[in-house]
Chains A and B, each alone.
Chain A
Amino acid sequence: MTEQEVIELIDSSLAEEFELEREAMTPEANIYEDLGLDSLDTVDMVIVLEGAFKFKIREEEAVRGIRTLGDIHRFVLSKMEQQS
């Protein structure tokens, strides 16, 4: 999977799960303030990413530091790099 394909899969999975507008999904978008997610969504976000990429991240401390969509992209890309 190329980096662009990973980013596309992240964005499409999150858009589907949270009914997000794709235009608003820029890497700089704050997932809480700009995309309207909240603490309940964080749990679902982890489940969505685990389902899409077949890894376990719910225990990872770094998940708590995620603020922007770009943070999610970087987090998933580094996780995939660790796995490969």
Chain B
Amino acid sequence: MAGSYHRSLSATAIFALQVVLMNLWVYPALLLWTLIGILIFPFLFGVGLVFLRQPADRLMRWFVWIYGRGWLLLMSPFVRFRREGMERVRIDRPCVFVVNHFSFFDTYCMALLPQYDIVFAVRSWPFQLFWYSAFMRLARYLDVEGSSWEETLSNSRSVFAGGGTVLFFPEGHRSRTGEIQRFYSGGFKVAIDAGVELIPLCIDGTDKLLPPGRKLFYPCTVTLRALEPVTTGNYRDVNGHIRLRKQVKELMSAELVAMREGQKQ
């Protein structure tokens, strides 16, 4: 009895120490990496435009992906990142990604995807983060709240025409319960309109890493799993987006349960 109490006490102490070390490392490192990015990326962007001859928005999306990779690398001493089902993501094929949302950190975890050409569909407020907004506009991210529906559709079509992908967090907000919330229809309508595949992504673990309302990072395992792509050709009727949305939500909810069960074993 006493032995088990001491073991539990020392496990708690070790975890607390890890949390302290992690936050002493992660906050300054991420701040420094962001500062480096802000100072260096515009220069590299200019060089890239001249020598790589890529469209400016795609080049910026590549830099954003590299920036995200940097975040993952800096977190990696304390967080184990796992990628599953990534063979289902074809980098040569436009698609819509939909992913559940637990944490501010989810966005950075999208750098786990093998695809870098990702246009994030976001609400208006991230465009007000002055240190990111210029990069987001250059990458032609979609402001789904501040644009008309026609603009969102037309901008998405031009992304697909260029071979890119669009990523939606269909819940619109971070979940505070650990469960998937109501889905907005936007991402599903965009996929149906363009006739591209929809790839559901399930992310688990970021609710332990940094849930809404907590300031401290906790060590954990984060898993990003790509589910089977869903073709959208059969959902072109009036209420097709509702059927697609429900089907994908069911798939993702079931997968998330399976992922958590798998982690327990």
- Residue ranges of A at the interface with B (Cβ–Cβ < 8 Å): 16-19, 36, 38-41, 43-44, 47, 51
Q: Which residue of A lies closest to B238 (CB)?
A: A51
B238 in contact with A17 (CB, 8 Å): no
B265 CB–A CB distance under 8 Å: no
A-B pairs with lowest CB-CB distance, top 6: A19-B182, A43-B149, A44-B185, A40-B184, A16-B242, A39-B145
B186 CB–A CB distance under 8 Å: yes
Given A16-B239, A18-B182, A51-B238, 14 more contacts at CB 8 Å?
A: A16-B242, A17-B185, A17-B242, A19-B182, A38-B172, A40-B123, A40-B144, A40-B145, A40-B186, A41-B184, A43-B149, A44-B184, A44-B185, A44-B186
- Residue ranges of B at the interface with A (Cβ–Cβ < 8 Å): 123, 144-145, 148-149, 172, 182, 184-186, 238-239, 242
Task: Count A-B contacts at CB 8 Å.
Answer: 23
Main SS at interface, chain B: loop
CB distance from A38 to the nearest CB of B (A): 8
Q: How far is the CA of A36 from the CA of B181 in the complex (A)?
A: 12
Note all chain A residues with C-beta closer than 8 A to B182: 18-19, 36
Main SS at interface, chain A: helix
Q: How far is the CA of A38 from the CA of B123 in the complex (A)?
A: 12
CB distance from A26 to the nearest CB of B (A): 20
A47 in contact with B186 (CB, 8 Å): no
Q: How far is the CA of A17 from the CA of B148 in the complex (A)?
A: 19
Q: How far is the CA of A34 from the CA of B239 in the complex (A)?
A: 25
